[in-house]
Structure 1
Amino acid sequence: MNANKCNTEAAWVDPDDAPELTDAFFKRADEFNGTRLVRRGRPKADVVRERITIRLEPDVLAQFKASGPGWQTRMNAALADWLKTHTPGDLKA
C-alpha cells in the first residue's frame, strides 16, 4: 500500500461519529473539474529526458556539482551547445 494513503476503513457506524473535516483533509482531497480528475504535482514535460548511466572524470563531475542545484541541466546544456559546432565523431578516444 502507498505510504501516502491513509486507511479509509471506517470504524464508526453512526454518521455523527464521523471524523471532523479539517483543512488538512480538504488539502489532500481529490479535486474534480466537472467529471475530470485534476492531476496534482509537476506537469508532464514536453520533452522527456532519458535516464542513462555515464562515466565521467571526477574533476569534470566535481565542477558541475560545485555549481549547485541544476548541475545536470547545465551539463546537458553544455553538451547541446558543444554539438552545435561539433559532431561526436570529432573526438577520438
Structure 2
Amino acid sequence: MTASTSITTWALLRDQAASRHGSEGSGMNAKHVKSDPTLIDLDDAPEWTEDQLARAELAVDGKVIREANGTLTRPRGRPRVASPKQQVSVRLDADLLTALKATGPRWQAKMNAELRKAMGLKH
C-alpha cells in the first residue's frame, strides 16, 4: 500500500463514518444532521410520573407559563441544607496537613469536627 493509497483509504473511512453518524463533513467542522421526528415512536416512551409532570416546563402556544424545575430524573444539584459549609483557603504546616490526610477519607470532615470540638461548638 502506498502513502497516497493509505491517505485515500483513511479519507474514505472517515467519510463513511461521518455519514453513518449523521454528520456532514469531518472533524470540528462537521454539521450534525437532525433526525426525522416522524421516525420517533411515542408508544415507546415511558409514562411520566406525577413528580416529573410537576417539574416539567409548562408552555401554551410556545409561551412558557412555568419554568422547568430540575431535570426529569431528579432535581438539579445537591440538596439544600440549613447551614451550608463555607469554602475557605487556609495555610497549614506541612506536617499537620500530612497527619490530617493520613486519617483517611473524609479527612476534611474530621478536621471540621476537631475544630468544632476545640472551639466548644456543638455539632
Q: What is the TM-score when the length of structure 2 is the normalising length? A: 0.43
**Counterpart of 1:46?**
82
**Counterpart of 1:18?**
40
Count residues in correspondence: 69
Runs of 4+ in structure 1 over 6 Å off: none
| Structure 2 unmatched ranges of 5 or more | 1-32, 56-68
| Structure 1 unmatched ranges of 5 or more | 1-8, 86-93
Larger radius of gyration: 2
Q: CA deviation at 1:47?
A: 1.6
Partner secondary structure for residue 114 of structure 2: helix
CA distance in 2, matches of 1:40, 1:54: 30
Name which of 54, 61, 77 aligns with 1:35.
54
Q: Say which structure is richer in strand.
A: 2
CA distance in 2, matches of 1:45, 1:82: 24
Q: Compared with structure 1, are the counterparts of its residues 12 and 46 closer, same or farther at alpha carbon in structure 2 (3 Å cutoff)? A: same
- Percentage of pairs with the same residue: 28
CA distance in 1, matches of 2:49, 2:92: 45
Deviations 1:35-71 (A, max 9, x none): 2345155312222111111000011111111111111
CA distance in 2, matches of 1:72, 1:41: 21
Name which of 50, 54, 60 aligns with 2:96.
60
CA RMSD in angstroms comes to 3.3
Q: What is the TM-score when the length of structure 1 is the normalising length? A: 0.55
CA distance in 2, matches of 1:70, 1:81: 17
